[in-house]
Homo-oligomer: A and B are copies of this chain.
Amino acid sequence: MGRENSEGGILLAGGTVVTLDADHRVIENGAVRVQNDRIVAVGKRGDMEKSFKGTVLEASGCIIMPGLVNAHTHLPMSLFRGLADDLPLMEWLTGHMFPAEAAHIRPETVYTATLLSCAEMLLSGTTFCCDGYFHEDSTARAVAESGMRAILAQGVIDYPAPGVPDPSKNVEAALMFVRSAKGRFPAIEPSIFCHSPYTCSAETLIRAKTAAREENVLLQIHVAETDGERDQCFAQNGVSPVGYLDRLGVLDERTLLVHAVAVDDADLSMIKKSGAAVVHVPESNMKLGSGVAPVPDMLAHGIPVALGTDGCASNNDLDMFGEAATTALLHKAFRKDPTVMNAETALRMATEKGAEALGSGSVTGSLEPGKKADIIVVDTRRPHLVPMYSPLSHLVYSARGSDVRDVMVDGRLVVRQRKLLTLDLERIMERMERLGSVVKGKA
């Protein structure tokens, strides 16, 4: 049942359909009809089955919902998962991650580790991710093979980087990737990723944003991840990290600000005014001791906020169900207020709000006719999901990636009954174990 939907289409039928559309529709005994790469109808099963001649994918006892959106990750870092933990950000980054990257990041390792990350994401219900790293052409090949939807960016940093030994060529390398990737894979959109305001000069940031504007692609950047970064920026530039980017003219509706932990109300007003979006990365911020981003305030400002896992060396998984749960729990604890972030808010950040923040709100993120068929089926016949009073509550507080049964991206079934159809997972794991032995030997 890969692409036969081109004939009469596919009807995912019989479960509880959680649309996450503007009307908050939850349809019991519902169905979603897919034709080619698009959703063409969403409604009650009875109505939808009439005159339907295609293939029925039975989903009784399941939830049918939009695929999850992981709005910030570094796909090849699955090679370094668990290599160094429980360390301060700068020690982790400069003492462990940068040296590991210098020693082990090559096109082949990027390709294989990206395959593994895509396998993990698809098997846990993520259908759309936003990545930034190096050797991004290898990432693109792997993502395309996996069948996942993605925004992929070549990284820009003012240090020698994997594949870009001369930092003065960093923006050019990013631009070259954008141009080569445009239109090459149907579900992949290129982007540019500046590492941060403290690792890219003002000139680099301006050149990167100018290039992104000329190519009409998203500019991603880590910003205000820690109090230390904020304090250093004030000391060096007299303004906050967000204020600094604003002063350089880098903020607009095609700018994606990652982390935004050490931000104040003035920063949030600036972000809102510029039209930029934020990616909240709670587990990575927790693990690195960076603190808690003021997400309830961002939402009150009307800023689009997506969720991301970060690279799985600082998380250490790519399970967006877990990330949504952490989001819903963390802000309640931090503000001592259980009403500050409800289940639906967290779930929307992981789906339709995530897509909106990435500039893909009209493409994916909810189950609505005309959108791309990025759909997952969650098996709720599990001991931790029975009985079910509220599908939204269960999806956030009780379900995990391992409950995902089937996954469709762009109208194509890529996971069926928990089996990945697009990649040879056993072979990828074997190759990763061999690469891991090399890293271990040198680490």
Contact = CB atoms under 8 A, between A and B. Distances in A.
A88 B397 contact: no
A119 B383 contact: yes
Interface stretch (A148-156, A287-295, A297-305, A405-413): A287-295
A235 interface: no
Interface residues of A, number: 74
A213 interface: no
A443 B86 contact: no
Contacts of A388: 82, 436
A398 interface: yes
Contact of A387 (B330, B390, B425, B432): B432
Contacts of A83: 389-390
Interface string A184-207: 000000000000000000000000
B389 A333 contact: no
Contact of A398 (B288, B290, B316, B335): B316
A416 interface: no
Contacts of A7: none
Most chain B CB neighbours (cut-off 10 Å) among A85, A312, A383, A429? A383
Nearest to A399: B317
A437 B387 CA distance: 8
Contacts of A318: 384
Given A286-B329, A289-B340, A432 B386 contact: yes
Nearest to A387: B436
A319 interface: yes
A333 B433 CA distance: 31
Contacts of A381: 429
A393 interface: yes
A1 interface: no
30 contacts: A81-B384, A82-B398, A83-B390, A85-B342, A85-B397, A86-B328, A86-B339, A86-B341, A88-B337, A92-B338, A116-B383, A119-B383, A123-B383, A287-B338, A288-B338, A289-B336, A289-B338, A289-B340, A291-B336, A312-B384, A316-B397, A317-B384, A319-B400, A322-B400, A326-B329, A330-B333, A381-B429, A387-B433, A389-B443, A402-B402
